A and B are shown apart, each in its own frame.
Chain A
Amino acid sequence: MINPVELVCPAGNPAALRAAVDNGADAVYLGFRDGTNARNFPGLNFDRDGEVQEAVRYAHGGGARVLLALNTFPQPADWSRAAAAVDEAATLGVDAVILGDPGLLRYAARTHPELPLHLSVQASATNRHAIAFYHAQFGVRRVVLPRVLSLAQIRQVVATAPVDVEVFGFGSLCVMVEGRCALSSYVTGESPNTCGVCSPAHAVRWEETKEARQSRLNGVLIDRYGPGENAGYPTLCKGRYRVGDHVFHAIEEPTSLNTLDVLPDLVRLGVGAVKVEGRQRSPAYVAQVTRVLRHALDAAQADPDGYEPQKVWVDALDRVSEGGSHTLGALHRPWQ
């Protein structure tokens, strides 16, 4: 008997939340409008002042759970804000909070023992001992796996983990193990761990020169684009650099993770949830991706052996993918 797999979708704002719930998400995840979560972009997230309560009401009305991400790593100067966010989360009726910082996990487990805890991907738990640690110390009920494991490794983890396992199913591909990447702060002073941002928008500059369009991040040249070439968001790991004599995407091409091809494998090996990345994306994106993955996940669960990813699903997801292309990322060993 295979347990049902939860489809977890991003809610960067109230309209995206409604789009996710209306199109079949089993759960949505969201954050407060400040640096307490790893998607701290202008115009994103939810006001503490009523918006989260309304989100909970709408999601629960539509049969979806609400997961609140508080997954930055607070430093002493912002500890009280982080602790207050956990306190507030405990009063809002959310179904779980997603934490990554060990200190904040300890605070949450001690102060609000009734509050269900999920381990954020930012905690970098990539093996059974790390997962056992967070389970033993804080009683986390679910872990979100970093996007660095192969399918075989996920199988090992699921088989040995004392908790539910969530994996990324679709969206921007984080090439580095999450929570331990300081590329963004190295260049801009702000990283996911410290400020909840990667390659922050205020550090981005576009230049048109005679030869090319150029993107810079805090003055550092990330990429040059020829006429007619699609220009992606200038994250450090997706730029073109020179190594030796070659200029190429030395870290990763602009592309999105897409697991449509392996959904039955994920279902069979027993993951508890599949997550869609993209709280910074539009409600239309959330609606589209949620709808496709709802169909695909239902099909993969109903008949894993007879499952085939339909062309309309693949095309629909490629239209909203970075660079219009997709990859299985680390799930597929040759990518590594």
Chain B
Amino acid sequence: MKLALGPIQYFWSAEAVRDFYARVREWPVDIVYLGEVVCGKRRALGPDDWLEVAGELAAAGKEVVLSTQALMEAESELAGLKRLCANDRYPVEANDMGAVHLLTGTEGFVAGPHINAYNSETLALLHELGARRWVLPVELSRRTLADLQAERPAGLETEVFAFGRLPLAFSARCFTARAHNLPKDQCGFRCGEDPDGKGLYTQEDQHLFTINGVQLQSGAPCNLVRANDKLRDLGVDVLRISPQSFETGAVVEAFRAAVDGVRDPLDAEADLAHLGADGWCNGYWYGTAGMGTGAEP
């Protein structure tokens, strides 16, 4: 299996983004997804800056994919989408059917985690339109993945979101701005103060969700490293690690070791225990509530 770094979901400064990808060049990941997927107002890096980062990663031997925004409404966002889909250097990850429309018939795009591919008919359609890889929607189970793998079109690669806070929902409303009692149009980019999102807790202090601008994520990070063997047995091609602001390199190392069979997956999980102080969530994988945890097998 290959390892991929998903797009950075949070709003980091241009410097933090550049520092991060300078380190990624040295990490044992095969694929790197780049770009802003959450909020069209976040433009710490312009299109040319992203292409520069992409060039450096490609030169370091990484497969680079440019990701599109998940929820697109404004004309300005659509203009950016069009430019991205028309680039002739890197494949594109479509996170909205508008992107799929613009990418139809092109060289080979990725159907991202925000495309609702829940059944074989949808996979067949995406493949016919030009998808060469798809990402399992986060709320689907290993049982459904097994069914889908059994019928997936030849040549279509499968990727699974394996580490990081799960992207659960998108809204027109900016929840970060709301938490600061600011209107979205005058948000002041307050999401930049929370490089790993802002915790949303129940009145019993359960970390339920994570606020990230117009997106809600899981409270706990998802971690499927212990499911490594099952993922491989199901013919999964790529595991996705979603960047966080600290120790993403350690996460990559742990997954690499498990995937290469040089470390037992449960030991690899133990290596990461300090990153999951509130525990992990992986209930979706086991076909239960996503916030839960299941045991392998």
B175 at the interface (CB under 8 A from A): yes
B-chain residues with CB within 8 Å of residue A101 when the two chains form the complex? 116, 118-119, 122
> Do residues A126 and B283 form an inter-chain contact, with CB atoms below 8 A?
no
From the candidates A221, A246, A336, name the one contacting B204 in the complex (CB within 8 A): A221
Residues of B contacting A126 with CB < 8 Å? 71-73, 96, 98
Residues of A within 8 A of B121 (CB): 79, 102-104, 106-107
Decide yes or no whether A188 CB sits under 8 A from chain B. Answer: yes
The stretch of A14-22, A173-181, A300-308 in contact with B is A173-181
Stretch of B53-61, B233-241, B288-296 with 4 or more beta carbons under 8 angstroms from chain A: B288-296
Inter-chain CA distance A176–B71, complex, in Å, is 10
Tell me which of B102, B173, B209 contacts A129 (CB under 8 A): B102
Chain B residues lying within 8 Å of A124, measured Cβ to Cβ, are 71, 96-97, 116
Which residues from 62 to 77 on chain A have a C-beta closer than 8 Å to any C-beta of chain B? Answer: 73-77
CB distance from A198 to the nearest CB of B (A): 11
- What is the CB-to-nearest-CB distance from A196 to chain B, in angstroms, rounded to a whole number? 13
Q: Is the CB of A73 within 8 A of B97?
A: no
Pick the residue among B151, B179, B200, B203 that contacts A76 (CB under 8 A).
Answer: B151
Instruction: Decide: A330 near B173, CB < 8 A? Known: A127-B78, A241-B201, A241-B203.
Output: yes
Q: Is B120 an interface residue (CB 8 A)?
A: yes
Point out the residues of chain B lying under 8 angstroms from A204, CB to CB: none
Contact between chains at B114 and A180 (CB < 8 Å): yes
Judge whether B140 and A75 touch: CB under 8 Å: yes
User: Which B residues, 190 to 239, have Cβ-Cβ distances below 8 Å to chain A?
Assistant: 198-206, 208-209, 211, 216, 218
Q: Once the chains are docked, how many angstroms separate the CA of A30 from the CA of B265? A: 48
Does A79 contact B120, Cβ atoms closer than 8 Å?
yes
Q: Is B188 an interface residue (CB 8 A)?
A: no
A220/B139 contact (C-beta < 8 A), A75-B144, A182-B290 known:
no
Q: Evaluate contact between A243 and B173: CB separation under 8 angstroms.
A: no
Residue of B nearest to A175 (CB): B171
Contact A186 B74 (CB under 8 A): no
| A102 and B147 alpha carbons, distance in the complex (Å) | 18
- Chain B residues with Cβ under 8 A from A246's Cβ? 179
Chain A binder among B29-37, B162-170, B244-252: B162-170
CB-based contact B175/A130 at 8 Å: no
- The chain A residue sitting closest to B95, CB to CB, is A180
Which residues of chain A have C-beta atoms less than 8 A from B171's C-beta?
148, 175-177, 251
Of B78, B201, B281, B288, which contacts A243 at CB under 8 A? B201
A247 contacts across to B, CB distance below 8 A: 203
CB closest chain-B residue, reference A129? B98
**Supplied contacts A101-B119, A124-B97, A221-B202, 15 more A-B pairs, CB within 8 Å:** A73-B118, A76-B120, A77-B147, A79-B120, A106-B124, A124-B96, A129-B78, A130-B97, A130-B98, A153-B74, A176-B169, A189-B287, A250-B211, A251-B173, A336-B184
Residue positions of B touching A, CB distance < 8 A: 70-75, 77-78, 81, 96-102, 104, 114, 116-126, 137-140, 143-144, 147-148, 151, 166, 168-175, 178-179, 183-185, 198-206, 208-209, 211, 216, 218, 281, 283-284, 287-291
Interface set of A (CB-CB < 8 Å, partner B): 73-77, 79, 100-104, 106-107, 123-130, 132-134, 136-137, 148-150, 153, 156, 175-177, 179-183, 185-189, 191, 193-194, 218, 220-224, 239-244, 246-247, 250-252, 330, 333-336
27 A/B residue pairs, CB under 8 Å, sorted by A: A73-B119, A100-B116, A102-B97, A103-B121, A103-B125, A106-B122, A123-B116, A127-B77, A129-B78, A133-B100, A181-B170, A183-B209, A185-B284, A186-B166, A186-B168, A186-B291, A188-B289, A239-B202, A241-B202, A242-B201, A242-B202, A242-B203, A243-B211, A246-B179, A250-B211, A333-B184, A336-B183
